[in-house]
């Protein structure tokens, strides 16, 4: 029973350490706890950032009060997560570097520059 209490304490400590880590824009974080038959315990924290940073080109436009990137080549519109960065390029052709959240069709902007 004592080992179970220690296990729970280590798990809670692991969660606290994981919560204190800087969070990537996209990616995952996971932890595992292992107990050997001899009673030795270990905690492993794994984190990874998504390396799918891409460059998107198109024109910044305002649509229903929000700035979007219109890619006329692919006939696609992307939502932009940083409206303040996008605002200064309103109406301009740009290159946006960032990661795409395919579920929401939103680009998480790393940088924007005039094309």
* Pairing between β-strand 106-114 and β-strand 76-80 as defined by DSSP bridges: parallel
Angle at 110 between CA 60 and CA 70, to 5 degrees: 20
Task: Name the pTM for this structure.
Answer: 0.56
**For residue range 29-86, what is the model confidence (pLDDT) as tens digits?**
445 555 556 666 555 544 444 558 999 999 999 999 999 999 999 899 999 999 999 9
Give me the pLDDT at residue 89, please: 97
Alpha-carbon dihedral angle through residues 77, 68, 110, 94, given to the nearest 10 degrees:
80
Q: Are strands 66-71 and 93-101 parallel, antiparallel or unpaired?
A: unpaired
Please report the pLDDT score of residue 52 as a whole number. 87
Q: Are 81 and 63 in contact (CB under 8 A)?
A: no
Give the pLDDT confidence score for residue 25 in this predicted structure: 45
Helices (H) and strands (E) in the chain, counts: 2, 7
CA nearest to 50, candidates 29, 30, 28: 28
What is the pLDDT confidence band of residue 20, given thresholds at 50, 70 and 90?
A: low
> Looking at residue 3, what is its pLDDT?
60
Q: Say what the pLDDT of residue 13 is.
A: 52
């Amino acid at each position: 029973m004592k080992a179970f209490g220690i296990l729970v304490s280590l798990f809670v400590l692991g969660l606290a350490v994981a919560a204190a880590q800087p969070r990537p824009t996209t990616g995952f974080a996971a932890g595992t706890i292992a107990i050997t038959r001899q009673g030795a315990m270990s905690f492993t924290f794994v984190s990874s950032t998504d390396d799918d940073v891409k460059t998107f080109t198109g024109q910044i436009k305002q649509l229903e009060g929000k700035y979007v990137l219109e890619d006329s080549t692919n006939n696609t519109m992307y939502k932009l997560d940083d409206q303040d960065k996008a605002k200064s390029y309103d109406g301009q052709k740009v290159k946006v570097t960032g990661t795409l959240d395919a579920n929401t069709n939103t680009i998480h902007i790393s940088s924007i520059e005039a094309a």
